Structure 1
Amino acid sequence: MKLVRLIANLGYGSRRDVMQLFREGRVTDAAGDVLYTDDRTVHGDVRIDGEPLDPPAGLVLLMHKPTGYTCSRKDAGRLVYDLLPPRWRRRDPALSTVGRLDRDTSGMLLLTDDGALLHRIISPRANVAKVYEAALARDLRGDEGALFASGTLMLESETTPLAPAQLTVLAPRRARLTVTEGRYHQVRRMFAASGNHVEALERVAIGRLTLEGLAPGQWRALDADAIARAFEPPAPDAGVPG
């Protein structure tokens, strides 16, 4: 790929904008030598104003989504994309969230420009485990675990039952729930079906991938080994249907 197109696709500007960067001598190699539009070099050796290029296509990010942010590009209010460098909104291919967390749900959110990976994670056939922790309005009754694990629970307005899910009780009003689907507001609706109400909800893991100390609003890029952990069964204390 030509350097102009590469840099433009990373969101640094239109091709005309990027051509201007070259004319001003702001595109160099790691040694500081000026690069020209027809030069051939590797991604990691390109600098703009002395700074390395943003990561190439195939980017996968792990974000600790705070409450109050929406997984959208167009909604009003605070968006998860506001937490990333502004030019990343102009990347081509675009970064997309891997599934969604609603505005009032916090925790683990993946973003990627790899469409095949995105669909592999969210596909129900992939059986990828998503682990949530919920704070509840009322004490657990004691029969929720059997209900969620039964594979017969039908949510309102749906025509197929939920796949079995694993409940771990953490406190009278706190529970960890592992699901392998991603239906609309699924965890909140599951507890509502059991006569309870979720007051706070956080996704704490996808497979064996965890937030690993990321504070709300922070993010980091994942390497291949980290991505692979998303497809592994959760840690034993997370609970997952067997």
Structure 2
Amino acid sequence: MKLVKLIANLGYGSRKDVAWMFREGRITDADGDVLYADDRVEHARIRIDGEPLDPPPGLVLMMHKPLGVTCSRKDPGRVVYDLLPPRYRVREPALSTVGRLDRDTSGLLLLTDDGALLHRIISPRASVAKVYEATLAEDLRGDEAALFASGTLMLESETTPLAPAALDALGPRHARLTLHEGRYHQVRRMFAATGNRVETLQRVAIGALCLGELAPGAWRVLDAEDVARAFGAPSACRA
């Protein structure tokens, strides 16, 4: 791919804008030598205004989605793309969220421009584990773990029972729940079915990929090893 098209697809501007950046000498290699539009150079060696070029297609980001932010491109309030450099919103191929977290749920969110990877993670066949921590309005009854693990719990307006889920009590009103599916507001509706209410909810892991100490609103690029952990067995991640 020609450098002008490559850089434009990464959201740095239109092809006309990028061509002008070449003419101004703003695009260089890692040694500071000015590059020209027809040069052939490794992606990792390209610099714009002295800064490394954004990662190529195949990008996977991990974000700590804060409360009050939606997983949408268009919303009257703040959206997850507002937390990224503006050019990430217009990359080609587009950067999409891998599943969603609602406005009132915080925690680990993945974004990628790799459609095949996105569908592999969210596909029911993959059975990728998603781990949540919830604080509750009322004390746990004591029978929730058995009920959630039974595979028989039917949520209101659903026609099929939920897949078995694992619950670990972390305190009288604090629980960790591991799901292998992603129905609408599933965690909140599961506890509602037991007569309880979720007060706070955070996703702390996808597979063995943990949120860790990533601050709310912060994000980082994942490497292949990180991505592979998303398909691993859940670890004892904590928020």
Note the alpha carbon deviations across 1:204-231, whole angstroms, 9 max, x for none: 1111110121111111111111111111
Q: For 2:195 and 2:229, how far apart are their aligned partners in 1?
A: 34
Q: 1:204 aligns to what?
A: 204
Letter in 1 for 2:21: L
Superposition TM-score, scaled by structure 2 size: 0.97
Q: For 1:88 and 1:226, how far apart are their aligned partners in 2?
A: 20
Report the 3-state secondary structure (helix = DSSP H, G, I; strand = E; otherwise coil) of the residue aligned with 2:125: helix
Q: 2:118 aligns to what?
A: 118
Q: For 2:30 and 2:222, how far apart are their aligned partners in 1?
A: 24
Report the 3-state secondary structure (helix = DSSP H, G, I; strand = E; otherwise coil) of the residue aligned with 2:35: coil
In the alignment of these two chains, the number of paired residues is: 237
Note the alpha carbon deviations across 1:115-156, whole angstroms, 9 max, x for none: 111100011110100000001011111111111001011111
Q: Which moved more, 1:131-140 or 1:19-28?
A: 19-28
Q: For 2:133 and 2:205, how far apart are their aligned partners in 1?
A: 10
Q: 2:27 aligns to what?
A: 27
Within 5 Å, which residues of 2 pair with 1:196-235?
A: 196-235=196-235
Shift of 1:37: 1.0
Q: For 1:228 and 1:190, how far apart are their aligned partners in 2?
A: 29
Letter in 2 for 1:3: L
Q: Which moved more, 1:175-184 or 1:28-37?
A: 28-37
Letter in 2 for 1:225: E
Report the 3-state secondary structure (helix = DSSP H, G, I; strand = E; otherwise coil) of the residue aligned with 2:19: helix
Report the 3-state secondary structure (helix = DSSP H, G, I; strand = E; otherwise coil) of the residue aligned with 1:63: strand
Q: 1:92 aligns to what?
A: 92
Q: For 1:112 and 1:144, how far apart are their aligned partners in 2?
A: 35
Q: For 2:130 and 2:18, how far apart are their aligned partners in 1?
A: 41
Q: 2:179 aligns to what?
A: 179
Counting aligned pairs with the same residue, the percent is: 78
Shift of 1:35: 1.1
Q: For 2:207 and 2:50, how far apart are their aligned partners in 1?
A: 38
Q: Residues 69 and 78 of structure 2 are in contact (CA less than 8 Å); yes or no, is this contact kept in structure 1?
A: yes
Q: For 1:232 and 1:30, how far apart are their aligned partners in 2?
A: 36
Note the alpha carbon deviations across 1:12-63, whole angstroms, 9 max, x for none: 0011111111111111111222111111111111111111111111111111
Q: For 2:212 and 2:142, how far apart are their aligned partners in 1?
A: 31
Shift of 1:86: 1.1
Q: 2:127 aligns to what?
A: 127
Shift of 1:85: 0.8
Q: For 2:47 and 2:127, how far apart are their aligned partners in 1?
A: 41
Q: 2:159 aligns to what?
A: 159
CA RMSD of aligned residues (A): 0.9
Letter in 1 for 2:116: A
Report the 3-state secondary structure (helix = DSSP H, G, I; strand = E; otherwise coil) of the residue aligned with 2:188: helix
Q: 2:58 aligns to what?
A: 58
| Displaced runs of 4 or more, over 6 A | none
Q: For 1:155 and 1:73, how far apart are their aligned partners in 2?
A: 29
Within 5 Å, which residues of 2 pair with 1:76-91?
A: 76-91=76-91
